[in-house]
Amino acid sequence: MARLNSPQELKRFQEELLSQRPSTTSFVSICAGTGCLAAGAKEVIGAFKEEMEKSGIAAKIQSKETGCPGFCERGPVVVIYPEEICYLQVAPQDVPEIVAETLLNKKVVERLLYVDPATKKRVQRESEIPFYKKQVRNLIGNNIRIDPRNIEDYIALGGYTALAKALFQMTPEEVLEEVKRSQLRGRGGGGFPTGRKWEESRNAPGEIKYVIVNADEGDPGAFMDRALLEGNPHSVLEGLIIGAYVVGAQQGFVYVRQEYPLAVQNITIAIRQAEEYGLLGENILGSGFHFRVKVHQGAGAFVSGESSALMTAIEGKVGEPRPKYIHTAIKGVWDRPSVLNNVETWANIPLIINKGASWFTQFGTDGSKGTKIFSLVGKINNTGLVEVPMGVTLREIIYEIGGGIPGGKEFKAVQTGGPSGGCLPAELLDLKVGFDELTQAGSMMGSGGMIVMDEDTCMVDVARYFLDFLSEESCGKCVPCREGIRQMLKLLTAITEGKAKEGDLQLLVDLAEVASDASLCALGRTAPNPFLSTLKYFSSEYEAHIKERRCPALSCKALVSYYIDPERCQACLRCLRSCPAQAILGAKNTIHVIDQEKCTRCGTCLEVCPPRFAAVRKVSGEPVPPPLPEEKRIIVREREGK
């Protein structure tokens, strides 16, 4: 392919690509995102290649290895176009049938379709699956149509036309105005207005400036940025080039954690291909604008996602935060003006330039415009990536898209905002999702992690878990964060173990205040959030742990006990044989008893006891009834007939 030397050449090339691929052409998209690969997509891809070759349709029907469309839990995902037939959990042995039935005979393989749990009906089209129906997938919608390693797929769908528009039809000031008008706020956590940040850098003195993609994504359970960078890397790159044009940068960086090998690979290929096509590098599209991008692989520390730490890492030093007396937009990498934006923020830019700020602002609330991608995980039926307009309620996300809580359990809380976010209770299910709304409720948007918890979750233990993570991830440079988090963790651990003292809760509150006020970076400043939000909404759980040595969710190991109800035990030996601690006494005709001294509270007995017997009881804060005397435990066999 020759270089594209003008916007006209880009347009002609795009038309040529479209004429080669009319919208009626059949093709098979197989998700090759990390989630589907882990579920066996590689073998499915191999099976499709082999089967299509064998049946002689390989020349007519293209198969594509694409990015993640979001429904990873049901992967490997295969979508057949133009009908948009979506097959889930496809195994290599399903492929001959798909080829014979769907590709050759246009018949649907019913058993591989999504079954709506409410109506029990099978759903054929991808867009009609309830998980997708309520979503507005401006950013991830094309992932399943694009091979991320083939720039032509992106160009065929209108890729790089926003760049051409920005470079040839707009001045940098006009692009900046459009971004400001869109009211786009950064998707990496803070929600800082993107246009304002760009303007600050643009107006900062100095010839050398940088633009940077933050793809560190250290939040446990989050994978929005990975899916975008893996699945549609050119959308991020195009946004970055436009940003460089506005700011006046000639060098950019993509900071991506090395634990994301596919994202590293796909963005590296995207950069090389964009250079070959004249969309990056010297004299982009013949405009006279030069811009280069380097990929910087991070070592995978959560704190390195913080802006000053990330910039320090790009300089080749240890990725620790530094004081930000002056914004990094003015004094960033090597003290030069540097614009850092999240992957998702950059990916929004081409859409805003192509479709306009007023198109963008139609989505969202007064304070939060556009859509937001969340990774919906935890105790939820449909886990995966969801992209929704800002302003939808938590209830809509959890029940209408996520399909509610599995196993008929009650919803208890949702944790938003990553490890230093907060937990919101059922009373707030109708809260609109937006930057300010979540902050006012004591949580935050963060970069889009959303962990759903059910009635079996102990909120004190949740706070302990996140403080544990943050204490591991604190770089230790400042005392309020290093020591504050460590002491908070110690106290929370004591509470979950029933060892807390009167006054510990107040001590936790005091420590939280100091860490929030005095830490060097936002890791320490926001670290108390998991504690403060759970205390605000679930204070009774703290009191039960401290005053009654009781865990109301029956979750904290040190505070629960198991015993076998002699009235229900059928002496079936199942728990006795499964107990890893050999803590269960009994025999074939002898009612079983748990030796409380030996019991490690692993819960295996409860898991294996057949539901029709339901003989194992789990309790907290109440004494375990004494076992029956030996002679009374001999089973009376006539009970079998009961």
Ligand X SMILES: Cc1cc2nc3c(=O)[nH]c(=O)nc-3n(C[C@H](O)[C@H](O)[C@H](O)COP(=O)(O)O)c2cc1C
Q: Kindly list the residues in this chain that would bind ligand X in the complex (CB under 6 A).
A: 186-190, 192, 214, 216-218, 302-303, 305-307, 340-342, 345, 447, 521-523
Listed residue (70, 234, 228) closest to 156, CA to CA? 234
Q: Does 69 bind ligand FES (CB under 6 A)?
A: yes
Residue 345 binding result from ligand X, ligand FES, none, given CB thresholds of 5 to 8 Å by partner type:
ligand X
Q: What angle do CA 353, 357, 361 make, to 5 degrees?
A: 135
**Burial environment of residue 622 by CB neighbours within 10 A (0 to 12, 13 to 18, 19 or more):** exposed
Other C-beta atoms lying within 10 Å of the C-beta of residue 50: 15
- The residue whose two tokens read 């050449």 is 9
Q: Does 148 bind ligand FES (CB under 6 A)?
A: no
Of 470 and 500, the one with the shorter C-beta distance to ligand X is: 470
- C-alpha distances in angstroms, 627 versus 163, 268, 349, 606? 76, 66, 68, 17
Rounded Cα distance, 290 and 284, in Å: 6
- The residue whose two tokens read 């299910």 is 429
Of 28 and 72, the one with the shorter C-beta distance to ligand FES is: 72
Of 126 and 473, the one with the shorter C-beta distance to ligand FES is: 126
User: What tokens appear for 95 in the block?
Assistant: 């492929």
Listed residue (371, 364, 369) closest to 344, CA to CA? 371
By CB under 6 A, how many residues form the interface with ligand FES?
A: 12
Q: Contact region for ligand FES (CB under 6 A) — 19-27, 69-77, 120-128, 547-555?
A: 69-77
Residue 302 binding result from ligand X, ligand FES, none, given CB thresholds of 5 to 8 Å by partner type:
ligand X
Alpha-carbon torsion (60, 79, 258, 264), positive or negative: positive
Q: Are 160 and 409 in contact (CB under 8 A)?
A: no
Of 273 and 308, the one with the shorter C-beta distance to ligand X is: 308
Of 31 and 520, the one with the shorter C-beta distance to ligand FES is: 31
The long-range contacts involving 23-27, CB below 8 angstroms and separated by at least 24 positions, are 23/82, 24/82, 25/62, 25/81, 25/82, 26/60, 26/61, 26/80, 26/81, 26/82, 26/103, 27/61, 27/62, 27/63, 27/64, 27/80, 27/81
- The residue from 10, 28, 36, 44 that contacts ligand FES (CB under 6 A) is 36
Residue 36 binding result from ligand X, ligand FES, none, given CB thresholds of 5 to 8 Å by partner type:
ligand FES
Residue 266 binding result from ligand FES, ligand X, none, given CB thresholds of 5 to 8 Å by partner type:
none
Residue 75 binding result from ligand X, ligand FES, none, given CB thresholds of 5 to 8 Å by partner type:
ligand FES
Q: Which amino acid is at 137?
A: R
- The residue from 7, 75, 319, 337 that contacts ligand FES (CB under 6 A) is 75
Of 75 and 378, the one with the shorter C-beta distance to ligand FES is: 75
Least CB distance from residue 198 to ligand X, whole Å? 10
Other C-beta atoms lying within 10 Å of the C-beta of residue 97: 14
Q: Are 234 and 159 in contact (CB under 8 A)?
A: yes
Least CB distance from residue 76 to ligand X, whole Å? 27
Of 340 and 508, the one with the shorter C-beta distance to ligand X is: 340
Q: Does 337 bind ligand FES (CB under 6 A)?
A: no
Q: Contact region for ligand FES (CB under 6 A) — 65-73, 294-302, 400-408, 593-601?
A: 65-73
Of 199 and 230, the one with the shorter C-beta distance to ligand FES is: 230
What are residue 56's phi and psi, to 5 degrees? 75, 20
Q: Does 77 bind ligand FES (CB under 6 A)?
A: yes
- The residue from 7, 48, 61, 71 that contacts ligand FES (CB under 6 A) is 71
Give the three-class secondary structure for 515: helix
Q: Does 33 bind ligand FES (CB under 6 A)?
A: yes
Q: Which amino acid is at 629?
A: P
Q: Contact region for ligand FES (CB under 6 A) — 26-34, 301-309, 353-361, 565-573?
A: 26-34
Rounded Cα distance, 369 and 616, in Å: 51
Q: Does 31 bind ligand FES (CB under 6 A)?
A: yes
* Contact pattern for ligand FES over residues 268 through 307, marking x by CB under 6 A: ----------------------------------------
Can you point out the beta strands (E) in 478-549? Answer: none
Q: Does 72 bind ligand FES (CB under 6 A)?
A: yes
> Which positions lie near ligand FES, rule CB under 6 A?
31, 33-36, 68-72, 75, 77
